[in-house]
A and B are shown apart, each in its own frame.
Chain A
Amino acid sequence: MDALKEELLSQVASAADLAALDEIRVTALGKKGRITGLMKELGALSPEEKKARGQALNALKDEIAAALDARKADLAAAHLAKKLEAERIDVTLPVRPETEGRIHPISQTIDEIVAIFAEMGFTVADGPDIEDDFHNFTALNFPVGHPARDMHDTFYLPDAADGRKMLLRTHTSPVQVRTMLKKKPPIRVIIPGRTFRSDYDMTHTPMFHQVEGLVIDETTNMGHLKGCLIDFCRAFFDVDDLPLRFRPSFFPFTEPSAEVDIGCLRKGGELKLGNFGDWLEILGCGMVHPNVLEACGVDSTKYQGFAFGMGIERIAMLKYGIPDLRTFFEADLRWLKHYGFVPLDVPSLAHGLTR
């Protein structure tokens, strides 16, 4: 029986393929197989012999069956391995082309601004780019012919049929006017949008974007203006200890008025934001002038509040290190790919504003 075992195991081991292996199985374990034959002979033996030999034969049978299974698995694996080897591809080849789009830095910056002011209870207001001089100037306490109107380099359109002087809004403040005319206080809005001034050089483009804010209620004061803008600037620029400096200034539509500087460091042509002792102007603000409130139908003896405005391209340039304002409007794909944002980078305070 040992000889048989040796013989069969050696046959199993040397079987070249699944067919040969199956032949061995039939020869050994089939109905007319050699082990099956030996089993059949058991009946002639005494019970003691029968028991001992039967056990030995069963063990042999199990052993051969196990060897067959093992060999079968080996052969299958070898076969698969060979097949897979034949299927080898060049994984260094480039993937199928997919173009990746970008969100313009202006849109991304607006989304960031909105995310921060949303936290402070502001909603977004908007209005038309083409305005009349009432909404752009007169209601905002710019007297007719006043030099302050000069500072705005206004683009004019032909007068309307009813005589209104039409123009491209020089700031998004007309939306403040429209908001106050439409809605009773309390008001808490921000107004991002396109603005236009007739100026074109290194640091000015005839179209640019502003975001303005307006808060009107019965108690908001200059301290809230300070708190609001400090919170905004620190969140937006992602500098926790960013210092802000409020300087007295003049705007026809606010009183008191201020310009706001943020702390910076200018060194070797580079600009770094933080508490370094140098200052950079970034926005204008103030308490809404009583004349503006009255022009917009708001009782200035009861209500008060603040307004602010800043250039979106300017703060985007500061935050993201974009050197040239004019490039914002050139739609150069190389620029958009470099300075733009992937569409899934949706700014939120929960998931982070800055990538």
Chain B
Amino acid sequence: MKFTLSWLKEHLETDASLDEISRRLTMLGLEVEGIEDRAKALAPFRIAQVVSAEKHPDADKLRVCMVDTGDGAAPLQVVCGAPNARAGIKVCFAPVGTTVPASGMVLKKGVIRGVESNGMMCSERELELSDEHNGIIELPEDAPVGASFADYMGLGDPVIDIALTPDRADCAGVRGVARDLAAAGLGKLKPLAADPVPGTFPSPITVTTETPGCPYYVGRTFRGVKNGPSPKWLQDKLRAIGLRPISALVDITNLVTFDVARPLHAFDADKVTGNIVVRMGRAGETLKALNGKEYALDDTMVVIADDAGAEALGGIIGGEPSGCTEETTTVFLEAALFDPLRVAATGRRLGIDSDARYRLERGVDPEAVVAGIEMASRLILELCGGEASELVFAGAVPEWRRTITLRPTRQKALGGIDLAVDDQARILADLGCVLTPNADGTFAVVPPSWRADIYGEADLVEEILRVHGYDFIPATPMDRAGTVTKPAVDARQRRTVTARRALAARGLSEAVTWSFLSTEVAGLFGAAHDGLVLVNPISSDLTVMRPSVLPNLIQAAGRNADRGFADVGLFEVGPAYRTPEPDGQDQIAGGVRAGNAVPRHWAEKERAVDAYDAKADALAVLDAAGAPAGNLQITTDAPGWYHPGRSGTLRLGPTVLGWFGEVHPSILDALKVKGPVVAFEVFLDKVPAPKKKGGTAKPLLTLSAFQPVERDFAFVVDRAVEADRIVRAVKGADKALIAGVGVFDIYEGAGVGEGRKSVGINVTLQPATATLTEQDIEAIGQKIVAAVVKATGGSLRA
């Protein structure tokens, strides 16, 4: 919402400076987004007159003009290329030394094709007044030579641009802004002229409304008017706030729209067939609107129709066929109330942003319908002549009065600031509220018709606080239950935090990637639930909620490799989605490694990433999350995006805690990423909560006084026998004595037989009560061998 300082002062009597007004507007919640002070930029530009214009001796398109700048000196010689540069016209002249706003160039005395030129005559585009650049500005004949161009054009006025929040319909008119400032003590609100224009004849056009979408409609016919360009003061006023003057009739409706936030529409009454009916649109109906576009209407839209069909979209835009032109002599003027939600919905559906929609969807003052039409009527009679009919009405002003009880104590209790009751009452009254004191010290407050946004006590508290000033609210520290604070996160949330730090400590970098991805990519990671496909995606790459955190990470690994960083370790702790319901979102710690795990290095053997790297990552996350690492089982049934022979599932009983392994080569092909890439996914929510054992103490540490003993075994087993089966068999041989089991060798080849392998196991025996004798060790060795043979069908390697 833009307005000029002088326009504001038409409504507000004030001595306040522009800075003070600007600061106060922002602190009233009418945030000043910018102040354009064109007087400064346009100060050097003067009104001048072309005394003579001769063709340039060496250029057909240039003219050599003598220009009287009104400073009493002899006319200046100026070379000009504009086709309209001719003797006698009044122009906007920029002397040497002036900065041209559009280009930022400083004018210098020049010689153009051998002829001296002292300054420039300007087009509107050069002054950033419009895009007009077909010729230089021609001013009216009575423009005073030598005067400031900006003053003459009414451009000397600073333009204030405020950002309006959606609740402040009233401040979509300058008067509303002035009222707020006056309430805030920055001046006095001037009275608004209210004398009605008496009708001299009955309106030949009558109105009816058939829809609750338009509860109230007021109209009036004018005859004998003469439309044409509006007077300069009106044009200047509109131009200053970025509106293009069109004709007197249209300019008047725009003026009222911006002055008192009362949109109007003027029909050319001669083009209206029969009477006006406000009704819902009909399927198949179309409207050619004033913006030149054709719209298909339907039964959700309020239209202003006549016998010929829809002539305007209620509260949004008028139609071209019934619009006013320079030839219009009979006018039908409309002011109406429309259902704000319907205006918003229709405007949104058709993509029409108009000044009328902006106001009507916020809700205009229901009591100002007639006042608006009268204000426009006075201007039409004054500027276009003719005579006005009596008003015609349809519907009625809906009841808007409501009474809110205000407890003045709430100002302190909710607003945090002690404010005298009188001050509170004064502020509300200045805003237009009607207050009646109740016996119990409260007030019955009736907010004004233009403030549909005020409907509760909290709204009144805000109004008082806002006008008094948020700056005066004292900052109060939050009180605390105790001096020592409790943890802010629970055990489940803490897992996410520790999982992140555990993975970063392992050399992986944390990524945060989109929750959505393309349908094709999602399909590689399992079929997406129908309810997870976006209805209105922002791009074809982001159409469905991700079923896994991996695809984004794999693609990110590929992008990093494309940039020359092939050795990648990335993880993300974030959501994957199974269903749209709250329990269908899983918190996943997932990661990928690509390229080399050990790079080329003088001391190390280069090694590509493999499934065991991913396994280690997954186990580290589970450990950090508090999973009982010793009880995990590993099965070989990871989902299809993993390499079927190089991947595993981490389980705790029947619960799947995660997967790890090499990413399936066909997935990498589909994502155009070079392998090998290994990955893991851990379901943090599935990790069981640590058992409460009553207290913070750890179990008592009992240390053995006796030397541990290490023994090695080698078993020959079928190639398919997993090492884990051997390790478990060994552990089970004597749970008390066997403290540790390691796998130190895997061998396949000569000596162990086709399809078989040798597995080297080292076992740590930790006696608790006495040093182990050779016989003890021999006996446990036999138990171990027997257990492994039984579990695997293998044999001790000879």
Residues of A within 8 A of B (CB): 93-94, 96-104, 106-107, 111, 114-115, 117-124, 126-130, 143-148, 150-151, 155-158, 160, 166, 168, 190, 194, 196, 198-200, 206-207, 215, 219, 221-228, 230-231, 245-250, 255-259, 287, 289-291, 304, 328-334, 336-337, 340, 342-344, 346
Query: Would you give the shortest CB distance from B566 to chain A, in whole angstroms?
Result: 10
Instruction: Please give 4 more A-B residue pairs, beta carbons under 8 A apart, in addition to A103-B501, A250-B165.
Output: A104-B511, A130-B580, A168-B534, A333-B570
A147-B362, A248-B462 as given contacts; A334 in contact with B27, CB under 8 Å: no
Partner of A336, one of B510, B567, B604: B510
Query: Would you give the shortest CB distance from A132 to chain B, in whole angstroms?
Result: 9
A248-B28, A250-B165 as given contacts; A222 in contact with B458, CB under 8 Å: no
Pair A227/B598 contact, Cβ less than 8 Å: no
Assembled-state Cα–Cα distance A342/B503 (Å):
11
A103-B510, A147-B362, A256-B462 as given contacts; A227 in contact with B476, CB under 8 Å: yes
Assembled-state Cα–Cα distance A198/B215 (Å):
35
Pair A129/B504 contact, Cβ less than 8 Å: no
Assembled-state Cα–Cα distance A115/B165 (Å):
33
Most chain A Cβ neighbours within 10 Å, of B31, B513, B538: B538
Pair B168/A250 contact, Cβ less than 8 Å: yes
Residues of chain B lying within 8 A (CB to CB) of residue A331: 511-513, 552-553, 556, 559-560, 570
Pair A97/B534 contact, Cβ less than 8 Å: no
When C-beta atoms are compared, the residue in chain B nearest to A192 turns out to be B493
B167 at the interface (CB under 8 A from A): yes
Assembled-state Cα–Cα distance A121/B497 (Å):
19
Pair A246/B29 contact, Cβ less than 8 Å: no
B698 at the interface (CB under 8 A from A): no
Pair A128/B511 contact, Cβ less than 8 Å: no
Residues of chain B lying within 8 A (CB to CB) of residue A250: 29, 165-168
Residues of chain B lying within 8 A (CB to CB) of residue A126: 493
A145-B341, A166-B580, A250-B29 as given contacts; A157 in contact with B534, CB under 8 Å: yes
B532 at the interface (CB under 8 A from A): yes
Pair A101/B414 contact, Cβ less than 8 Å: no
Pair A114/B489 contact, Cβ less than 8 Å: yes
Residues of chain B lying within 8 A (CB to CB) of residue A99: 507-508, 567, 569
Residues of chain B lying within 8 A (CB to CB) of residue A146: 166, 341, 344
A101-B510, A114-B489, A158-B530 as given contacts; A223 in contact with B504, CB under 8 Å: no
Assembled-state Cα–Cα distance A98/B599 (Å):
10
Assembled-state Cα–Cα distance A148/B567 (Å):
47
Partner of A246, one of B362, B412, B413, B471: B471
Assembled-state Cα–Cα distance A225/B165 (Å):
21
Residues of chain B lying within 8 A (CB to CB) of residue A227: 475-478
Interface stretch, picked from B479-487, B632-640, B667-675, is: B479-487
Query: Would you give the shortest CB distance from B721 to chain A, in whole angstroms?
Result: 34
Assembled-state Cα–Cα distance A155/B537 (Å):
7
Of all A-B residue pairs in the complex, the 7 with the closest CB atoms, nearest first, are A223-B416, A248-B29, A256-B462, A250-B165, A99-B507, A331-B556, A101-B504
B417 at the interface (CB under 8 A from A): yes
Assembled-state Cα–Cα distance A224/B458 (Å):
17
Partner of B512, one of A106, A151, A290: A106
5 A–B pairs (Cβ distance < 8 Å), ordered by A: A101-B509, A128-B582, A155-B534, A207-B516, A255-B461
1/0 per residue, CB under 8 A from A, across B93-121: the answer is 00000000000000000000000000000
Query: Would you give the shortest CB distance from A215 to chain B, in whole angstroms?
Result: 8
When C-beta atoms are compared, the residue in chain A nearest to B416 turns out to be A223
Residues of chain A lying within 8 A (CB to CB) of residue B28: 248
When C-beta atoms are compared, the residue in chain B nearest to A305 turns out to be B414
Residues of chain A lying within 8 A (CB to CB) of residue B506: 101
Assembled-state Cα–Cα distance A114/B487 (Å):
10
B775 at the interface (CB under 8 A from A): no
Query: Would you give the shortest CB distance from B157 to chain A, in whole angstroms?
Result: 26
Pair A247/B27 contact, Cβ less than 8 Å: yes
Pair B510/A100 contact, Cβ less than 8 Å: no
Pair A342/B537 contact, Cβ less than 8 Å: no
Assembled-state Cα–Cα distance A257/B465 (Å):
10
1/0 per residue, CB under 8 A from A, across B732-765: the answer is 0000000000000000000000000000000000
Assembled-state Cα–Cα distance A101/B603 (Å):
22
Within 566-618 of B, Cβ neighbours of A (below 8 Å) are at 567-571, 573-575, 577, 580-582, 584-585, 598-599, 601-604
Assembled-state Cα–Cα distance A33/B550 (Å):
85
Residues of chain A lying within 8 A (CB to CB) of residue B345: 145
Query: Would you give the shortest CB distance from B625 to chain A, in whole angstroms?
Result: 15
Partner of A121, one of B166, B480, B531, B581: B480
Assembled-state Cα–Cα distance A13/B601 (Å):
49
Pair A121/B481 contact, Cβ less than 8 Å: yes
Pair B531/A158 contact, Cβ less than 8 Å: yes
When C-beta atoms are compared, the residue in chain B nearest to A114 turns out to be B488
1/0 per residue, CB under 8 A from A, across B450-474: the answer is 0000001111011001100011011
Pair A256/B415 contact, Cβ less than 8 Å: yes
Residues of chain A lying within 8 A (CB to CB) of residue B493: 124, 126
Assembled-state Cα–Cα distance A151/B166 (Å):
10
Residues of chain B lying within 8 A (CB to CB) of residue A206: 514, 516, 538, 542
Pair B475/A223 contact, Cβ less than 8 Å: yes
B515 at the interface (CB under 8 A from A): yes
When C-beta atoms are compared, the residue in chain A nearest to B503 turns out to be A101
Most chain B Cβ neighbours within 10 Å, of A93, A122, A155, A304: A155
Most chain B Cβ neighbours within 10 Å, of A115, A130, A160, A190: A130
B779 at the interface (CB under 8 A from A): no
Pair B414/A222 contact, Cβ less than 8 Å: yes
Pair B456/A255 contact, Cβ less than 8 Å: yes
Residues of chain A lying within 8 A (CB to CB) of residue B458: 255-256, 287, 289-290
Pair B462/A255 contact, Cβ less than 8 Å: yes
Pair B509/A198 contact, Cβ less than 8 Å: no
Pair B537/A157 contact, Cβ less than 8 Å: no
When C-beta atoms are compared, the residue in chain B nearest to A188 turns out to be B478
Assembled-state Cα–Cα distance A7/B643 (Å):
83
When C-beta atoms are compared, the residue in chain B nearest to A174 turns out to be B582
Pair B478/A336 contact, Cβ less than 8 Å: no
When C-beta atoms are compared, the residue in chain B nearest to A261 turns out to be B26
Residues of chain B lying within 8 A (CB to CB) of residue A328: 512
Residues of chain A lying within 8 A (CB to CB) of residue B473: 222-223, 226, 246
Pair A223/B511 contact, Cβ less than 8 Å: no
Pair B477/A101 contact, Cβ less than 8 Å: no
Partner of A129, one of B507, B531, B542, B585: B585
Pair B489/A228 contact, Cβ less than 8 Å: no
B308 at the interface (CB under 8 A from A): no
Query: Would you give the shortest CB distance from B587 to chain A, in whole angstroms?
Result: 9
When C-beta atoms are compared, the residue in chain B nearest to A248 turns out to be B29
Assembled-state Cα–Cα distance A249/B25 (Å):
12
When C-beta atoms are compared, the residue in chain A nearest to B461 turns out to be A256
Assembled-state Cα–Cα distance A155/B544 (Å):
11
Query: Would you give the shortest CB distance from A346 to chain B, in whole angstroms?
Result: 7
Most chain A Cβ neighbours within 10 Å, of B167, B509, B537, B602: B509
B536 at the interface (CB under 8 A from A): yes
Partner of B534, one of A100, A156, A160, A200: A156
When C-beta atoms are compared, the residue in chain B nearest to A120 turns out to be B478
When C-beta atoms are compared, the residue in chain B nearest to A145 turns out to be B341
Most chain B Cβ neighbours within 10 Å, of A122, A198, A333: A333
Pair A258/B538 contact, Cβ less than 8 Å: no
Residues of chain A lying within 8 A (CB to CB) of residue B370: none
B565 at the interface (CB under 8 A from A): yes
Assembled-state Cα–Cα distance A97/B567 (Å):
12
Pair B476/A221 contact, Cβ less than 8 Å: yes
A124-B489, A147-B344, A226-B416 as given contacts; A336 in contact with B509, CB under 8 Å: yes
Most chain B Cβ neighbours within 10 Å, of A107, A124, A329: A107
Residues of chain A lying within 8 A (CB to CB) of residue B485: 118-121
Pair B29/A247 contact, Cβ less than 8 Å: yes
Query: Would you give the shortest CB distance from B578 to chain A, in whole angstroms?
Result: 11
Residues of chain B lying within 8 A (CB to CB) of residue A225: 416
B545 at the interface (CB under 8 A from A): yes
Assembled-state Cα–Cα distance A231/B480 (Å):
14
Residues of chain A lying within 8 A (CB to CB) of residue B474: 223, 226
